[in-house]
Structures are given as C-alpha cells and as structure tokens.
Amino acid sequence: MKKWLFLFGLLIVFLAGCASQNETEEELPFLDVKIVADEKVPLNKEVEIACLVTYGNEKVTDADEVKFEVWKNGTENHEMIEGKHAGGGKYVIRKTFTEAGTYSIVAHVTARSMHNMPKVEVTVE
C-alpha cells in the first residue's frame, strides 16, 4: 500500500511540474503581415495599399524586403511593386487601377529570417 501511495505522490509531483513548466514557456514570436486595402477600389483613382508587419509584439521597421504582387484575376500579367516603410511597421504602395475587375494582391514580406505572403482580393469599379 505504501508503495502505491509513494508512486501516486510521485505522479502528482511529476504532473504538477509539467503543468508549471508549460505555463512559464513563452510563445515563440512569428512574422505577422496584415494587408490593409479597401474591398472596393475606384477605377482610375490612385489608392493606397498597405501592410502592417509585426514580429511578436514588435512593429517591424527594418524588413529585408516588402513587395506587393498585383494582378487582375484571369490574366498572366503580374506586377511587383516595392513597398516603402511609412513608419510604425506600415509599408505602403500607391496604385491606380485602369481596368475594372477583381484583382489579387499578395504582400511578399521577408524579415527576421522569415517570409510571409498573405493574399487579399479587391474589386475595381
């Protein structure tokens, strides 16, 4: 009986140790990129397309590369436009769409030895 109590007590101590270890482990930061663009964009008017880049809680102001790939859906012509840092982890381009339709936009962001490429679609009217 004492042997079982001892083993049970040892199991409780082990499980308690594992639980406290998991609580103290920090989540590893990752490169997060959120594209900021209106869902509907006016035809023949310059608009701003941006992405917000963070690494954990830190705003990334020194990304190695930020490019926006823009193309009209159903076409082969993809345009790559380099984003400029506008402060606070925000990278922007200015674009005028001259043809109505649905466009895909992918932000290609490399920073902190990581790469992230989120995609959104906008409708040009």
What pLDDT is recorded for position 54? 98
CA nearest neighbour of 117 among 109, 56, 36: 109
Among 1.10.1740.10, 3.40.50.670, 2.60.40.10, 1.20.210.10, what is the CATH number of 31-124? 2.60.40.10
How much is the average pLDDT of 96-115?
98
What pLDDT is recorded for position 15? 57
C-alpha to C-alpha distance for 27 and 33, rounded to whole angstroms: 18
Assess whether pLDDT exceeds 80 at residue 5. Answer: no
Q: What share of the chain is helix, strand, coil (3-state, %, to 5)?
A: 20, 50, 30
What one-character DSSP code corresponds to residue 42?
Answer: -
What pLDDT is recorded for position 28? 86
What pLDDT is recorded for position 8? 53
What pLDDT is recorded for position 27? 79
What pLDDT is recorded for position 99? 97
Angle at 51 between CA 75 and CA 36, to 5 degrees: 75
C-alpha to C-alpha distance for 48 and 74, rounded to whole angstroms: 23
What pLDDT is recorded for position 13? 53
C-alpha to C-alpha distance for 90 and 64, rounded to whole angstroms: 14
How much is the average pLDDT of 52-61?
97
C-alpha to C-alpha distance for 74 and 121, rounded to whole angstroms: 13
How much is the average pLDDT of 49-65?
97
Q: What is the model's pTM? A: 0.78
Assess whether pLDDT exceeds 60 at residue 37. Answer: yes
What pLDDT is recorded for position 33? 98
How much is the average pLDDT of 106-124?
98
